[in-house]
Amino acid sequence: MSRRYSPARYFAFIVLFLSVAPVLAGDAGREQAVTILKTWQRALDARPTRCSIEVDVLARVNYVPGHAGACGYRTRILRDGPKLDMVCTPVFNNDPDSANPNKAVGRNFKTIVNGYYVQYEAPRTAKAALAVFALDGQNYFGRSIHALYGVEAFDGYACGDPKRLPELMLALPTLHLLADEKVSGHDCKVVEATSADYGKYTLYLDPSNDWLPRRIVNEKLSDNLSDGRKLKDWPFVTRGRHEVSPAVRVKGEYGNPETVKVDRWTMPNRCEYTETWEFQNGERCIKAYTCTVTKVDLHPSFDSAMAFVPQLQEGATLANQSDHSRPYRWKGGVPVPKSSEQR
């Protein structure tokens, strides 16, 4: 017996299809986004992680109207897998709101991640007596190389967040695919995800060039983390107003990368990074960074550079960022809890 045509049944089927179709499309979009991020992840894993890179950074800062400044510094990074040795040297500072704008010029600030994390000002003729310290050094890797202000995107990091972007975004249920876009003439795959900790990330990846990020946009709100603390917990003083006001939104944007081939690898040559800070009092601050890579060495000699070994005085104080109630000292070339010295 043949079934008779039923307009009501046909209409019910159409309603059911239209209600399910967006879910199916969403699932398919997420699967494609996962595939794209895993492909980028494999490309990152294949990149050389033993290298020496030197970068010149020019920073232009526009505060409230009538207050602007600029500074420049040179950063040298040695990297061996998860180990990091970074020296940052300010070379000029003409910030008109600074009480002593050239105070730090010529001084070296050193950061080391070698299981633990330490950061200190490196004296010219002596070892340092004080350092910022944390036991969970890998949690500070992404934060530390953010001193490159955009160059770190070539290794999958961005905006000072501790995790590589593929690992961070693959774990998020909000991950989805957006329509393809052209960025500076390059066809890019676009994926997006929102993290409760690190805000919303939108990535523009170039599949024709080792999945190079052509653009990265990160938007953080007051409850998102910036350098390990919620944005609203940072006390900010907007320049020119001299009043404390918390930040309510920060937008970080990396883009316009220029590349060069070193051996067979696509390496950074130049890029731009901009941060726009918005404050509760209605003011905002724009920080624009231009980063130029002056040297890339994929076969560095770490021994001659005394890499990954802090130059600290015996007994130097280590300000423990992981637990302020548990101070450490530098003894015998390793960090030691102060409480254990009396045992």
Question: Could you tell me the residue ranges of all domains in the chain?
Answer: 32-342
Burial of 144 (0-12, 13-18, 19+ CB in 10 A): buried
Task: Quickly state the pLDDT bin for 236 (edges 50, 70, 90).
Answer: confident
Task: Quickly state the pLDDT bin for 199 (edges 50, 70, 90).
Answer: very high
Give me the pLDDT at residue 47, please: 94
Tokens, residue 18: 């239209």
Q: Among residues of the chain, what percentage have pLDDT more than 90?
A: 64
Which range has highest mean pLDDT (15-24, 206-215, 232-241)? 206-215
The rounded mean pLDDT for the chain is 86
Strand partners, 85: 78, 112
Smallest CA-to-CA distance from 120 within 60, 65, 129 is with: 129
In contact, 215 and 189? CB cutoff 8 Å:
no
Q: Residues near 78 by Cβ (< 8 Å), separated by ≥ 6?
A: 51, 52, 84, 85, 86, 300, 302, 305, 307, 308
Tokens 């039923």 sit on residue: 6
Q: What is the pTM of this model?
A: 0.86
Residue 89 — φ and ψ, nearest 5°? -125, 110
Question: Is residue 215 over pLDDT 80?
Answer: yes
Interatomic CA distance for residues 325 and 329, integer angstroms: 13
Interatomic CA distance for residues 138 and 59, integer angstroms: 27
In contact, 154 and 143? CB cutoff 8 Å:
no
Interatomic CA distance for residues 208 and 192, integer angstroms: 20
Q: Among residues of the chain, what percentage have pLDDT more than 70?
A: 85
Task: Quickly state the pLDDT bin for 104 (edges 50, 70, 90).
Answer: low
Question: Is residue 343 over pLDDT 50?
Answer: no
Q: Which residue has the higher pLDDT, 18 or 194?
A: 194
Task: Quickly state the pLDDT bin for 110 (edges 50, 70, 90).
Answer: very high
Task: Quickly state the pLDDT bin for 191 (edges 50, 70, 90).
Answer: very high
Burial of 85 (0-12, 13-18, 19+ CB in 10 A): buried
Give me the pLDDT at residue 166, please: 97
Task: Quickly state the pLDDT bin for 71 (edges 50, 70, 90).
Answer: confident
AA identity, residue 126 = A
Smallest CA-to-CA distance from 227 within 325, 140, 320, 137 is with: 140
Strand partners, 213: 205
Measured over the CA atoms of residue 152, residue 49, residue 293 and residue 139, the dihedral's sign is: positive
Which range has highest mean pLDDT (18-27, 59-68, 176-185, 227-236)? 176-185
In contact, 61 and 69? CB cutoff 8 Å:
yes
Strand, helix or coil for residue 119: strand
Give me the pLDDT at residue 125, please: 74
Smallest CA-to-CA distance from 50 within 313, 302, 329 is with: 302
Tokens, residue 192: 């997006």
Task: Quickly state the pLDDT bin for 324 (edges 50, 70, 90).
Answer: confident
In contact, 290 and 266? CB cutoff 8 Å:
no
Tokens, residue 262: 């070193």
Task: Quickly state the pLDDT bin for 20 (edges 50, 70, 90).
Answer: very low
